[in-house]
């Protein structure tokens, strides 16, 4: 187990370094001179050159990458070209928002997907309804779900605020009201994919001998479903949570934009719009590190839940 984690950690470091280099070189070579961009089109060549020397844009790319990664490892991602704010501080402000949104969404999606496919009540009705819900979750774009929810609950019924963000300290109820629609929006897709994965496994588990034994013992349907079938069918969902985190960040970008939430995704979109490349790079690398870490954690959780893998 320890060795597995160590090798995975080493692979993870290589992966992250490779992707950071890829991002850095593609961003720096394709975007052209940041100095020219920062000063605008009418800047004099002398001013551009001066800025280049000041920031070190005139040095060879490989040297720039070395400096950048050296600082990044110490938690210094430079300053935003636009706001002049420290990138690390800007990201630190945004991370809690995104983290809360994604964690709530995954939890809701897993609970709904597993619950609706396990519960032994009105199987035909629930089954048909959730088949439709799965198709909707998987194919309706995030922004359409968000807009429909806003139309229904904010514009139409007026129950919930459409956009904006209120922190916990400013009022728990208001906070939850603001985060409800974004969480519903983001979890729709994951409800779909988790259900597909879980149902396939659940069907297999139901064929197994121990299910017949459990019923033969005279256990109730609820106990059979939740104590015997569910723990055996949930493993692929755990792996899938890990795999889908990358896609989740993409969904979070769209969701945060719709609901104007001050999260990492919106920071990223505005950095892209403003060609603010220190912010772009930092958020890009951070997303990759996050995704790779979560993949590793999912693998560890998986091997903890399944002793066969642990002892390999």
Site residues (CB under 8 A) for another protein? 15, 18-19, 23, 26-27, 30-31, 128, 131-132, 135, 138-144, 147-148, 150-151, 155, 243, 246-251, 253-254, 257-258, 268-269, 272-273, 275, 280, 284, 287-288, 291-292, 295
In angstroms, the CA 189 to CA 136 distance is: 8
Separation of CA 45 from chain center? 42
DSSP string, 188-247: HHHHHHHHHHHHHHHHHHHTSHHHHHHHHTT--HHHIIIIIIHHHHSHHHHHHHHHHHHH
Query: Are 32 and 41 a contacting pair, CB within 8 Å?
Result: no
Nearer to another protein, 90 or 254 (CB): 254
Phi/psi-derived region of residue 260, left when phi > 0, alpha when psi is between -120 and 50, beta in every other case: left
Nearer to another protein, 18 or 50 (CB): 18
Q: How far is the CB of 223 from another protein (least distance, A)?
A: 28
Q: How far is the CB of 141 from another protein (least distance, A)?
A: 6
b/e sequence 125-147, b meaning 16+ C-beta within 10 Å: ebeeebeebbeebeeeebeebbe
Query: Are 147 and 257 a contacting pair, CB within 8 Å?
Result: no
Nearer to another protein, 173 or 273 (CB): 273
Q: How far is the CB of 251 from another protein (least distance, A)?
A: 8
Nearer to another protein, 230 or 292 (CB): 292
Q: How far is the CB of 134 from another protein (least distance, A)?
A: 11
Q: How far is the CB of 22 from another protein (least distance, A)?
A: 9
In angstroms, the CA 121 to CA 131 distance is: 16
Nearer to another protein, 28 or 237 (CB): 28
Cα atoms in the 13 Å half-sphere on the side-chain side of 141: 7
In angstroms, the CA 246 to CA 106 distance is: 13
Nearer to another protein, 104 or 130 (CB): 130
Phi–psi pair at 162, nearest 5 degrees: -80, -45
Q: How far is the CB of 268 from another protein (least distance, A)?
A: 7
Nearer to another protein, 143 or 302 (CB): 143
Nearest to 113 by CA among 193, 49, 204, 8: 193
Query: Are 218 and 137 a contacting pair, CB within 8 Å?
Result: no
Q: How far is the CB of 140 from another protein (least distance, A)?
A: 5
Nearer to another protein, 32 or 66 (CB): 32
Q: How far is the CB of 127 from another protein (least distance, A)?
A: 9
């Amino acid at each position: 187990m320890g060795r597995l984690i160590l090798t995975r950690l080493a692979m993870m470091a290589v992966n992250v370094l490779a992707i950071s280099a890829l991002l850095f070189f593609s961003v720096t070579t394709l975007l052209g001179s940041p100095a020219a961009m920062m000063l605008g089109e009418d800047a004099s060549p002398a001013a551009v050159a001066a800025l280049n020397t000041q920031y070190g844009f005139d040095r060879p790319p490989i040297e720039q990458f070395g400096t950048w990664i050296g600082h990044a490892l110490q938690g210094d991602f430079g300053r935003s070209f636009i706001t002049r704010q420290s990138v690390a501080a800007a990201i630190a402000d945004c991370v809690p928002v995104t983290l809360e949104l994604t964690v709530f969404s995954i939890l809701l999606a897993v609970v709904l997907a597993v619950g609706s496919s396990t519960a032994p009540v009105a199987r035909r009705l629930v089954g048909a309804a959730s088949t439709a819900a799965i198709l909707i979750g998987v194919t309706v774009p995030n922004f359409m779900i968000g807009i429909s929810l806003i139309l229904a609950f904010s514009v139409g019924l007026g129950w919930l605020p459409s956009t904006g963000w209120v922190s916990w300290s400013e009022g728990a109820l208001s906070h939850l009201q603001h985060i409800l629609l974004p969480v519903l929006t983001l979890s729709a897709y994951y409800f779909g994919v988790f259900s597909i994965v879980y149902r396939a496994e659940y069907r297999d588990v139901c064929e197994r001998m121990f299910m017949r034994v459990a019923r033969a013992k005279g256990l109730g349907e609820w106990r059979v479903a939740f104590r015997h079938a569910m723990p055996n069918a949930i493993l692929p969902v755990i792996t899938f949570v890990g795999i889908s985190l990358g896609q989740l960040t993409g969904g979070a970008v769209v969701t945060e934009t719709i609901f104007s939430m001050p999260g990492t995704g919106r920071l990223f979109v505005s950095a892209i719009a403003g060609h603010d490349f220190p912010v772009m790079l930092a958020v890009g690398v951070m997303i990759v590190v996050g995704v790779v870490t979560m993949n590793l954690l999912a693998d560890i959780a998986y091997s903890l839940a399944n002793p066969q893998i642990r002892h390999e």
